[in-house]
Amino acid sequence: MENRAVTFPQTQTILNGVNVPNVQLDDIQAILNMRDAWKFLLNTVNEEITFEYWCRLNEYIARNEALEWGKLRTGTVGISGTDYEPPVPNKEKTIEELTDILYDTNASATDKALKAFTWGIRGQFFWDGNKRTSLMLANKILILAGAGIMTITDKYMEQFNSLLLDYYNTGEREDLKQFLYQNAIQGITI
């Protein structure tokens, strides 16, 4: 969770239900929201991914962080560090794009996950929590296929942010997808 001044031990303490001094309330809310989103995902791992399911992920992730959560945004948003301004989403077009990604018979689960992630972060479909929602969607795709999980560790955050900014500016996702494939997806070795 980028831009959160919370250490791993503090996160563990928060998840254990103990108050942590000097941690911002919005950071605590984001941690609890991610916990709840993961619980939802794991409890519904075999459910089909639909537009409504994706919105539910955002509902868990952005709860109490935005004016509305779990619904497509209806106004403009800006993205720090770039002049790129994502268009206001159209529900029918968004459903079509999501469906095209999910049911692409020529793509592996890993490729679908990476496409879904990059599509969601550039589209900024919700008022808040777009990267986290896109990451959860990618993980749902990966887990459902038994293809691992995706997480961006602190070690790679600076490089990720640089590639992300390039992607916002150019719309070219291949460098970002390749980076994520090499550094952010952990499979399971049996």
Model pTM above 0.85: yes
Q: What percent of the chain has pLDDT over 90?
A: 76
Spatial contact of 183 and 148, defined as CB atoms under 8 Å apart: no
Spatial contact of 122 and 57, defined as CB atoms under 8 Å apart: no
Average per-residue pLDDT in the chain? Answer: 92
Cα–Cα distance, 48 to 42 (Å, whole number): 13
Tokens of 155: 């070690």
Phi, psi of 142 (to 5 degrees): -65, -45
Q: What local confidence, expressed as pLDDT, does residue 2 receive?
A: 58
Read off the pLDDT of each residue in 86-114 and give the average, rounded to a whole number: 97
State pLDDT tens for residues 19-50: 888 888 888 888 889 899 999 999 999 999 99
**pLDDT at 79 > cutoff 60:** yes
**pLDDT at 188 > cutoff 70:** no
Q: Does domain 8-186 have CATH number 3.30.420.40?
A: no
DSSP-derived secondary structure for 73-103: --S----TT----PPPPPHHHHHHHHHHHHT
Burial class, 21, CB count within 10 angstroms (exposed 0-12 / middle 13-18 / buried 19+): exposed
Tokens of 62: 């952005």
Read off the pLDDT of each residue in 51-79 and give the average, rounded to a whole number: 94
